[in-house]
Amino acid sequence: MATPLNHPQRRPPLFRRAIKIRHRKAHEVQDPLPQTVQEVEPPSHHFSSEERALLYEEALYTVLHRVGQPEPSHVSEASELLRYLQEAFHLDPEEHQQMLQQTQQLEKPMLFLKATVKQAKGILGKDVSGFSDPYCLLGIEQGVGVPAGSSPAARQRQKAVVRDTIPEEQTHRTQVITQTLNPVWDETFILEFKDITSASFHLDMWDLDTVESVRQKLGELTDLHGLRRILKEVRKDKGQDDFLGSLVLRLQDLRSREDQWYPLEPCTETYPDRGQCHLQFQFIHKRRATRASRSQPSYTVHLHLLQQLVSHEVTRHQAGSTSWDGALSTQAATILFLHATQKDLSDFHQSMAQWLAYSRLYQSLEFPSSCLLHPITSIEYQWIQGRLKEEQLEELATSFSSLLTYGLSLIRRFRSVFPLSVTDSPARLQSLLRVLVQMCKMKAFGELCPESPSLPQLVKEALRIGTVEWFHLKQQHHQPMVQGLLEAGKALLSLVQDITGDLHQCRRTWNKIFHNVLKIDLFPMAFLELQWLVAKRVQDHTEAVGKLVSPEMGEGLFQLYISLKEFCQLGPSPSETDGVLALDGFHRWFQPAIPSWLQKTYSVALARVQRAVQMDELVPLGELTKHSTSAVDLSTCFVQISQTAQQLDWPDPEEAFMITVKFVEDTCRLALVYCSLIKARAQELSACQKDQGQAANMLCVVVNDMEQLRLVMGRLPTQLAWEALEQRVGAVLEEGQLRHTLHAQLQGALAGLGHEIRTGVCTLAKQLEVGIAKHIQKLLGVRESVLPEDAILPLMKFLMVELCYMNTNLVQENFSSLLTLLWTHTLTVLAEAAASQRNSQLASNRLKIALQNLEVCFHAEGCGLPSEALHTATFQALQQDLALQAASSRQLIQKYFCSRLEQQAETTSEELGVVTVKASYLPSEQKLRVELLSASSLLPLDSNGSSDPFVQLTLEPRHVFPELAPRETQKHKKDLHPLFDETFEFLVPAEPCQEEGACLLLTVLDHDTLGTDDLEGEAFLPLRSVPGLPEDKEPGEVPQTRLPLIYPAPNGDPILQLLENRKGDREAQAFVRARRQRAKQAAQHALRPGR
């Protein structure tokens, strides 16, 4: 039977009738909200024992009288739900059993099916127009069971299922929707039933057929199908509706709530596809026998039950050391779903209850604020102010005001409420802000709290007040136990450091959250508030300290100064601030402490250097690190001084320059002090050593330490930022004053270091120079039978051992310096030895081979001295001298002719005359053909002003061409431009012609009848360049060669001097005499008047 939702009494059975409730009026007939009193503070979430008993009875009643199949995600067993309720209400088993028995004895509720016919689609068109005028008949058939698994198709179908099985007063009808195949009704009916196991829901859909004339129907005719319909109508009784489909459902198969499309079943198989109908079902209770249902509105009871279960969920998670994520357990979700369904609470009232419960619990229990977003969204979507009474509006407004006040209190204390030590704190704060934003955007909030200031304005004020409160709490926390300036300074330093850390967190984390959600920049606001508070306390402290600053006080002030610098660096730029900040120019407060800071820095560094040298054993740190521990400590001291200068970074340019000068002066002083200390330490340790090698090791380490110090000193301009300082002081100091002052200090220190390093390297070099000189002298005294390569082995082994040792113990820079000194000394010793052994070819050969091997040794495949450093002028001269001294006589003769060929190639002047020849080699005949064409511009050597020239042709050197006699041309009388035009052929193989120095010597002579022929000049033609020799082919057209005449060198040739010193070599002596004679003749002509 159908019962009106708003009727207070149950009608007698015979007069029961269903009251149709249209969906558009459903919101007007809900249970009224309970009257509440506006409160500023939220009520406690705990209930009295009597209230808990009423709620427990209500919950037990809901579970015991569950109707319908369970939802897939819900708990199906009643025992599990009862156990959960016992736990949620904290009842012992006896109390639970007693309450359960009392509840089981209560009267059962009246059961109703709330059915909503939403719409249909795809139904049959029964009218001539192809459409239908559908309506539905529905009701509940009670007491006739339908076998499980059967369908209406299995039963004997009747056209009038509802009309034939359900009494007319229990049958309900929808409106008629005309001319459609997809009707929409959206009508709700309340249907009473007794026993769910034997009740079934029936629905028939009909096409309303009104009485029309045949003429009217023919007017609507559109096709042949419509004609057949007209004929069918003629046979049918007038006014009889057409059957469209039916639906039969067992109530026990339905869930507590259903929302589905159901297919319509036909009576015959003529049209099996009859379309679908969209239905919604809900099992509800009436006349519940619980005390809460009889005394309180359904909405209030559901609110209290929700509050109790959520409170239990939160406390249960807290007991397990976990945070509730807002998701109800399946047991709680099942119970709340059943209660809302049985009490027929609308979605709006459920959302309202959820909002009130969650917003109250959030203020007393810890759970995510994101749980409030869903009820906010639901209320906003369904909000209609007119549906609520005044007291209900006050209750909602109170919840808004209470949550806003509580949220602002959390925001004011966000540093302690949402600590970053907890990983999810930023997310929790962001969630709270979003909840407040969504709440303030609600239409309900705007209508109920119209005078509330804007949320950003409220949050800004809360943040400002909270920042000041947090500062005072921090200041109280750091208050020293003992009164005094030192303790006060330490407390103030800790306070500034905490504030700086908080600002870092604000800029890195909190500012992003407030800006993203509310467009509020927290960081500038917090900085401006805190800087005023900090400035006042720092200025008071520095004034209390005064101008006489002790070392202990200076250390504290320096740390405070550094912390304030970091604090100010966080602040906005001057262009972003309005007016002057309280901390602008704060460095002036610390000006009296600067001398103390500088003296402290130097004293600490000096003490560390002295301690480091005293503990240094002068042993290399490792294979790659060749300096000792004290050099590392000294480098660290310099780095610390640079860091102190960088931390200080004094804003005033002129004072910053003076501070930098002091830092550089102290650094240079430390460097020189270190040199003295490390040398004294080396002498101290060497005095205890009997092994000279160990003393050399220590000397190497000392040199390496000084070299490391020089490298560190070289980085001083970069570490102290001289360039930036120069730009800052440009307007204060004279041009070049900074560079002159600072660089002069640094260069002076570096020069001193360089002198110390060179002194150490020279000491090492002198130890090796003695050994090198001894081995070179021994090299000269080895007997002649020993090969030169074997003779130099002792020298090379000595150098290999010593240089490897030095390379191992010296850094590369110092090792290179040592090699340079040793190389210079070795060249000097070799040059002296070469000069003393000038007449000994054997000794010179040994020295030559020694020089070659020493060059390789000192170069060391690119790891030693570079080629430019090796090939000095001394080396080149020595190399050339030794190459000549070690050569044989014939080799020297060949070198002599090579030098004359070079002289010939370099001569361009024809002052002495010129000779023209054509020379070629005939490989097939092994003949050298020389055509002497002419000579010209000869010198007049006779007294008559002319000459009698002829040319002597000789193949030189003579030992290369021993069997070829010289040839001569005809003599021409009184002719300075003779035309010879004579051809000479020399039978000679090609190989000798290609040897070094092989040439054709053309000697132009003036014939004297009574005396020796005079020398006009000489010309040298290299045989290697003669056509036919290089290519080994027959020459073609032979070009003429014009050769200027030249004289031998007037000052003597070094090769001739070497040959002259070889007295026992006849060939050498004969060659020297011949060449001396030529030089003598040339000298006589050069001394003649007019030449």
User: What confidence tens digit (pLDDT) does each residue in 447-487 have?
Assistant: 888 888 999 999 999 999 999 999 999 999 998 888 888 99
| Cα-based distances in Å from 1060 to 881, 891, 897, 1053, 1070 | 15, 14, 16, 10, 9
Interatomic CA distance for residues 499 and 759, integer angstroms:
56
At residue 386, the pLDDT reads 63
At residue 392, the pLDDT reads 78
Are the C-beta atoms of 764 and 821 separated by less than 8 Å? no
Name the 3-class secondary structure at 233: helix
pLDDT band (50, 70, 90) for residue 498: very high
Interatomic CA distance for residues 217 and 127, integer angstroms:
9
Name the 3-class secondary structure at 711: helix
pLDDT band (50, 70, 90) for residue 172: very high
- The two structure tokens encoding residue 184: 């929409």
- The two structure tokens encoding residue 776: 């070179």
**What phi and psi values does residue 132 have, to the nearest 5 degrees?**
-135, 165
Interatomic CA distance for residues 712 and 636, integer angstroms:
10
pLDDT band (50, 70, 90) for residue 229: low
Q: What is the mean pLDDT of residues 502-519?
A: 93
Torsion, Cα 396 399 401 403, to 10 degrees, reads -150
pLDDT digits (tens, 9 = 90+) for 81-124: 999 999 999 999 999 999 999 999 999 999 999 999 999 999 98
Strands across the sheet containing 999-1006: 967-968, 949-956, 999-1006, 1014-1022
Interatomic CA distance for residues 708 and 631, integer angstroms:
7
pLDDT band (50, 70, 90) for residue 1032: low
Q: 8: cis peptide before it, omega within 30°?
A: no
At residue 983, the pLDDT reads 94
At residue 252, the pLDDT reads 92
Interatomic CA distance for residues 18 and 584, integer angstroms:
83
pLDDT band (50, 70, 90) for residue 340: very high
Q: What is the mean pLDDT of residues 980-1007?
A: 92
Q: Is beta strand 199-207 parallel, antiparallel or unpaired with respect to 110-121?
A: unpaired
pLDDT band (50, 70, 90) for residue 803: confident
Share of the chain above pLDDT 90, in %: 40
Q: What is the mean pLDDT of residues 226-237?
A: 55
DSSP, res 197: G
How remote is the C-alpha of 952 from its chain's centroid?
87
| Cα-based distances in Å from 982 to 439, 925, 955, 967, 969 | 127, 20, 17, 11, 7
Asked if residue 535 has pLDDT above 80, the reply is: yes
Q: What is the mean pLDDT of residues 356-379?
A: 86
Find all residues with CB under 8 Å of 1030, minimum gap 6, and list them: 994, 1024
Asked if residue 501 has pLDDT above 90, the reply is: yes
- The two structure tokens encoding residue 527: 């900085």
pLDDT band (50, 70, 90) for residue 695: confident
Q: What is the mean pLDDT of residues 573-585?
A: 76
Residue 784 or residue 214, greater confidence: 784
pLDDT digits (tens, 9 = 90+) for 1044-1061: 999 887 666 788 877 877
Asked if residue 837 has pLDDT above 60, the reply is: yes
Share of the chain above pLDDT 70, in %: 89
pLDDT band (50, 70, 90) for residue 154: very low
pLDDT band (50, 70, 90) for residue 15: very low
pLDDT digits (tens, 9 = 90+) for 889-940: 888 888 889 998 999 999 999 899 999 999 999 988 889 999 999 999 899 9
Q: What is the mean pLDDT of residues 664-691?
A: 86
Q: Report, in this order, helix, strand and coil percent for the chain, each rounded to 5.
A: 55, 15, 30
Asked if residue 239 has pLDDT above 90, the reply is: no
Asked if residue 240 has pLDDT above 60, the reply is: yes
| Among the ranges given (437-446, 632-641, 691-700, 961-970), the one the predictor scored with the smallest mean pLDDT | 691-700
Asked if residue 214 has pLDDT above 60, the reply is: no
Asked if residue 30 has pLDDT above 60, the reply is: no
Mean pLDDT of the chain: 84
Q: What is the mean pLDDT of residues 530-553?
A: 90
Asked if residue 1016 has pLDDT above 60, the reply is: yes
Asked if residue 49 has pLDDT above 90, the reply is: no
| Among the ranges given (227-236, 580-589, 621-630, 1038-1047), the one the predictor scored with the smallest mean pLDDT | 227-236
Interatomic CA distance for residues 704 and 707, integer angstroms:
5
Asked if residue 169 has pLDDT above 90, the reply is: no
356-361 contacts at long range (C-beta below 8 A, 24 or more positions apart): 356/303, 356/395, 356/396, 356/399, 357/303, 357/306, 357/307, 357/310, 358/310, 359/42, 359/399, 359/402, 359/403, 360/42, 360/43, 360/45, 360/307, 360/399, 360/402, 361/45, 361/307, 361/310, 361/311, 361/314
Interatomic CA distance for residues 743 and 716, integer angstroms:
10
Interatomic CA distance for residues 1081 and 939, integer angstroms:
13
- b vs e for 923-932, b when ≥16 Cβ sit within 10 Å of the residue's Cβ? eeeeebbbbb
Asked if residue 236 has pLDDT above 60, the reply is: no
Q: What is the mean pLDDT of residues 757-765?
A: 86
| Among the ranges given (700-704, 801-805, 862-866, 1034-1038), the one the predictor scored with the smallest mean pLDDT | 1034-1038
Asked if residue 250 has pLDDT above 70, the reply is: yes
Asked if residue 225 has pLDDT above 70, the reply is: no
Residue 50 or residue 35, greater confidence: 50
Are the C-beta atoms of 953 and 968 separated by less than 8 Å? yes
| Among the ranges given (345-359, 565-579, 795-809), the one the predictor scored with the smallest mean pLDDT | 565-579
Angle between helices 1054-1061 and 889-906 (to 10 degrees): 160
Counted residue by residue, the chain has a size of 1091
| Among the ranges given (334-348, 618-632, 977-991), the one the predictor scored with the smallest mean pLDDT | 618-632
Amino acid at 1068: A
Angle between helices 373-382 and 347-362 (to 10 degrees): 140
Q: For 682-704, give the DSSP string.
A: HHHHHHT---HHHHHHHHHHHHH
Are the C-beta atoms of 855 and 870 separated by less than 8 Å? yes
pLDDT band (50, 70, 90) for residue 615: very high
pLDDT band (50, 70, 90) for residue 156: very low
Q: Is beta strand 914-922 parallel, antiparallel or unpaired with respect to 134-142?
A: unpaired
Asked if residue 612 has pLDDT above 60, the reply is: yes
